[in-house]
Amino acid sequence: MKHLLGVENLTREQAERLLDRAESFAEVGRRDIKKVPTLRGRTIVSLFYESSTRTSSSFELAAKRLSADVVSIKAAGSAVDKGESLKDTIATLTAYDPAAIIIRAPQAGAAHLVAGWTDASVINAGDGKHEHPSQALLDVFTLRRRLGSLEGTRIWIVGDVLHSRVARSCLMAFGLMGAHVTLCGPPTLIPRGIAEATGANVTYDLDGLAEADVVYALRMQHERMSESFVPSLREYAARYQIDSRRLGPRQLLMHPGPVNRGVELAPEVIDSSQSLITEQVESGLVVRMAILYELLTGSDRARPKGGPMSADAPPRIGQPA
């Protein structure tokens, strides 16, 4: 596997290998010295054309914990402000011979384009409404740790499915791992034909929510809404907000963040013991370490030549940097 462009291209075997690798990095994270030399001497570029807290910080920290050199660029304040195109920006950054480019962009398909313009591995950190594969993998990892397996688990994804790349990637990833997915939201925020295209159940109200083992709430994506999709946020919250009356005591709660408190989630459930939101953030770090590791040194990737101190030496997860 050279790139991670979407869950769409992943096999279950590849996903499970990544998650197993993430488990080994979780062990590294419990040590006093949390750094390993695996990617020493490799350069990783992180290029974000959209705002991010979790994805950008965890990819940067993941790369640093693997001892890579990291160049982080936000569109604001970069030459993008001066009108430089994505292609020219990639050509510029490729001159540093990076091993990987992590990209978030508002255009669906941006990461695919970048993969055609560089020899580096490309990681899609979110492309418009299309995909956010590392988010889906960290969500599967979080659930696998809690439940052992997703096989047969009933997961409800609730909210703004239409604008959500997280929903698209999670729907595919949860299905890949054997879960049964139900999509729930206002008809205006559920893509037409998605049930037929994906095999997911679709419902427009929360009446059957009690059957869910996991409730995955989505953020209302105001920034992607050019028109009004719900009468008001107050009305949306009245019909779809997950609160302590709607979340049963055995159900787990997830959200990719950032949360609109009081819109898709009531404050009391965000901070409840059923909430996995903090665990999702923790998982993000080790899963992204695993992604970088697999793409840059993985067994099905041609490795660069090098001596015993190079990155193609046997995995040295067990040794601190």
Binding test (CB under 6 A) with ligand CP, winner from 256, 279, 283, 286: 256
Part in contact with ligand CP (CB under 6 A); list of ranges 11-19, 46-54, 93-101, 191-199? 46-54
| Spatial separation of the C-alpha atoms in residues 321 and 316, rounded to whole Å | 9
Cα 192 from chain centre: 24
| Spatial separation of the C-alpha atoms in residues 108 and 49, rounded to whole Å | 12
CB 68 within 8 A of CB 44: yes
The answer to whether residue 55 forms part of the interface with ligand CP (CB under 6 A) is yes
| Minimum CB distance to ligand CP smaller for 57 or for 203 | 57
4 secondary structure, DSSP code: B
The answer to whether residue 135 forms part of the interface with ligand CP (CB under 6 A) is yes
Binding test (CB under 6 A) with ligand CP, winner from 1, 16, 24, 52: 52
Sign of the torsion formed by the C-alpha atoms of 103, 106, 107 and 108: positive
Part in contact with ligand CP (CB under 6 A); list of ranges 48-56, 108-116, 239-247, 313-321? 48-56
The radius of gyration computed from the CA coordinates of the chain, to the nearest angstrom, equals 20
The answer to whether residue 203 forms part of the interface with ligand CP (CB under 6 A) is no
The answer to whether residue 168 forms part of the interface with ligand CP (CB under 6 A) is no
The answer to whether residue 315 forms part of the interface with ligand CP (CB under 6 A) is no
Binding test (CB under 6 A) with ligand CP, winner from 9, 53, 85, 149: 53
> What tokens were used for 244?
């302590």
Binding test (CB under 6 A) with ligand CP, winner from 37, 248, 257, 315: 257
Longest C-alpha distance within the chain, in Å? 63
Residue 161's nearest CA partner among 134, 198, 124, 125 is 198
Binding test (CB under 6 A) with ligand CP, winner from 3, 21, 54, 129: 54
Size of site (CB under 6 A) for ligand CP: 9
Fill in the amino acid letter for 219: R
Q: Enumerate binding residues for ligand CP (CB under 6 A).
A: 52-55, 126, 135, 256-258
